Chain A
Amino acid sequence: MIATSDLSVFIGRLRIVRGVTFKAQPGEVTAIIGPNGSGKTTLLKALSGDAAYTGSAGIDGIEIASMKPWQAAGLRAVLPQSTSLSFPFTVREIVRLGLTGGSAGPGRSGDRVAEALARVDLEGFAGRFYQELSGGEQQRVQLARVLCQVWDPVVDGRPCWLFLDEPVSSLDIRHQLAVMDVARTYAESGGGVIAVLHDLNLTAMYADEVLVMRKGEMAAFGAPRSVLDDRLLEDVFECRLRVGALPAGGVPFVLPQSAG
């Protein structure tokens, strides 16, 4: 379980995240939503050990700030929003980097890389150069690397975690669903997933719990059904939103929920 209590993050003298208290359970997908600049990514950074925080935040009771990098790497893997690369690595070499950290055991590395690439629908991409891929393909390569790092959702009875920062931001609809399915499957196998998302429909579809951020504070936390309501969304996103409303006659709309 990941639990925070009165978690605040300062960048310089500015308080980006203030007083967030929530619990994320393994076996569930916890989504963090909110408008731009509301502190979603910063909150995830605090959980990843990248940003210093006040208050407390722990994985299974171990304070995140006190973890050694290699210790944390065995418990959670982090997918950043985007990753630029300075040297011409191949896709296989990138994904293999995930194996060197984390909880992945030795051996079977070739299989593991191929399997991870298959999961993100990139079979046959191992020999391509990362820098020559499209943004969406790069994002999925990084997800494959992240999966390699915490391949088994549960290690020695302890759940592992995926922290995903906007994992579907540059993906087409099919791959959005595919990547969210990967997250879903990971949670169903006993691991935990915390994902920053912008797509409210995907959130409603895949999240077990939703943490809504607003100006650095937690505006709501709960199941999608209870959190995604007109008043809260309008208040948080500062525009008129109506849950479940159909567009006025004749305008086509396509929801991810309709995918078979």
Chain B
Amino acid sequence: MEAPRAARSGIAARRVSGADGDRTALARMVITLLGLLLAATFLLSLASGASDASVLTVARDMVSGVAGDGALSARDRIIVYDIRLPRAVLGVLIGAALAVSGAVMQGLFRNPLADPGLVGVSAGAGLGAISIIVLGTGVLGPVVTTLGIYALPLAAFGGGLATTILLYKVATRRGQTSVATMLLAGIALGAMAGAFSGVLVFVADDAQLRDLTFWGLGSLAGATWLKVAAAGPIIVAALIASPFLARSLNGLALGEATAHHLGIPVQRMKSIAIVTVAGAIGAAVAVSGGIGFVGIVVPHLLRLLIGPDNRFLLPASALLGASLLLLADAVARVIVAPAELPIGIVTAFFGAPFFLWILLRKRGVLDL
């Protein structure tokens, strides 16, 4: 027993920080920095736009309290608190939801290319949302009256859930997920959901078409406190659930059998993960349409930085996803001001080349 002990202290003496394979400290630091980044982008998002309230005045006004004699003029306060604040809050929620869903799904499928947008889950959620918009005044009328503002996010959730379960059933055999099958099945499911959506768009009337267009652009424009209230609870619930999946997802990285050997209730954990992803994506799609690539870019970047440990990857993804979406929204608002670009276009502009870059790096490694 003495010999290994001596050897151990020898290693400890030679150990250089970071070279011992322990990225815990680094991950904690990165998460702290990402928290600060999110606070900064949040303020920036409140201050940027046609009105000239500066970051500093907005911050001062928020600190001095909503009721007190703030630093903002009455007009600016309306702009900041009733227009920009719900938009920024929605941006944070959706960015976090997209990035965390991406990370959870990649852990679940044991594959860095699984992304709700790529494998048809967003399309399925979209079909659910479109059904409510188009059929909400007709056959689905009772559903809308019963569920109120939650009808849209819940329908999107249902669509996303159905697609995720189908995808999982098709792509996974005996605990092994085939990448090729997953991506191809995702394309098929996405196309099928798209076809059904197309039929619905075809039968929609003019008013519904206008709603659909606004919704389908993939934008945070038109964010209201009502939308925050509709999507918020589902997304927050999913975000709260995700850290509890971290340990299980880490185990799953070694395969389902090994995860089971490590004491993880694999089947139950997979069900929770699927519901979490479907919930977050459904709610996000319901209020903002399809915003692509956040779910694949953010976790991938973070894995390069802090490693694949989900205990850190999931919270870091939430923070970076939120920050990136706020930044993308700011770009979307500023670049063609006074008009604005749908945010989905901005994320695709940056995300698509990034995705190609991942593919190039992994060429030969992926068993496609």
Contact = CB atoms under 8 A, between A and B. Distances in A.
Contacts of A50: 257, 260-261
A118 B12 CA distance: 12
Given A69-B265, A86-B253, A118-B7, A100 B247 contact: yes
Interface stretch (B82-90, B91-99, B126-134, B303-311): B303-311
B307 A83 contact: no
Interface stretch (B16-24, B48-56, B147-155, B278-286): B16-24
Interface string B248-276: 00110111011011111110000000000
Contacts of B307: 88-90, 93
Interface residues of A, number: 44
B263 A70 contact: yes
Nearest to A49: B260
A87 B112 contact: yes
B229 to A, nearest CB: 37
A227 interface: no
Given A86-B110, A86-B253, A78 B261 contact: yes
Interface in A111-160: 111, 114-115, 118-119, 123-124, 126-128, 149
A110 B22 contact: yes
A101 interface: yes
A16 to B, nearest CB: 14
A114 B15 CA distance: 11
A86 B22 contact: no
B253 A89 contact: yes
Contact of A87 (B12, B257, B263, B308): B308
A126 B7 CA distance: 14
Nearest to B176: A84
Interface string A24-57: 0000000000000000000001001110000000
A123 B7 contact: yes
Nearest to B10: A123
B68 interface: no
B46 to A, nearest CB: 36
Nearest to B266: A69
B250 A88 contact: no
B260 A149 contact: no
Given A97-B254, A100-B247, A115-B4, A90 B262 contact: no
A80 B255 CA distance: 10
B191 interface: no
Interface residues of B, number: 33
A109 to B, nearest CB: 10
Interface string B233-257: 0000000000000010011011101
A115 B2 CA distance: 12
A168 interface: no
A183 to B, nearest CB: 17
A94 B303 CA distance: 15
Contacts of B75: none
A18 interface: no
B251 A101 contact: yes
B170 interface: no
Contacts of B309: 89, 93
Contacts of A128: 21
A76 B21 CA distance: 26
A70 to B, nearest CB: 4
Contacts of B266: 69
Contacts of A114: 8, 11-12
A240 interface: no
A7 interface: no
Question: Which of the listed residues A72, A92, A93, A128 has the most CB atoms from chain B within 10 Å of its own CB?
Answer: A93
A80 B262 CA distance: 12
B111 interface: yes
B143 to A, nearest CB: 39
A67 to B, nearest CB: 10
Given A100-B251, A102-B263, A115-B4, A86 B112 contact: yes
A49 B12 CA distance: 38
Nearest to A128: B21
B254 A85 contact: yes
A77 interface: yes
Contacts of A93: 21-23, 307-309
B263 A85 contact: no
Contacts of A102: 262-263
A83 B21 contact: no
A88 B262 contact: no
A174 interface: no
Contacts of B250: 97, 100
A127 B112 CA distance: 22
Nearest to B309: A93
A52 to B, nearest CB: 13
A98 B254 CA distance: 11
Contacts of A124: 11
B175 to A, nearest CB: 9
B255 A84 contact: yes
19 contacts: A49-B260, A70-B264, A78-B257, A78-B261, A85-B254, A86-B253, A87-B112, A89-B253, A89-B309, A92-B22, A93-B23, A97-B262, A100-B262, A101-B263, A114-B11, A126-B20, A127-B19, A128-B21, A149-B261
Interface of B: 4, 7-8, 11-12, 18-23, 110-112, 247, 250-251, 253-255, 257-258, 260-266, 303, 307-309
Interface of A: 45, 48-50, 68-74, 76-78, 80, 83-94, 97-98, 100-102, 110-111, 114-115, 118-119, 123-124, 126-128, 149
Q: Which 6 A-B pairs have the closest CB atoms?
A: A73-B263, A92-B21, A90-B21, A87-B308, A101-B262, A101-B263
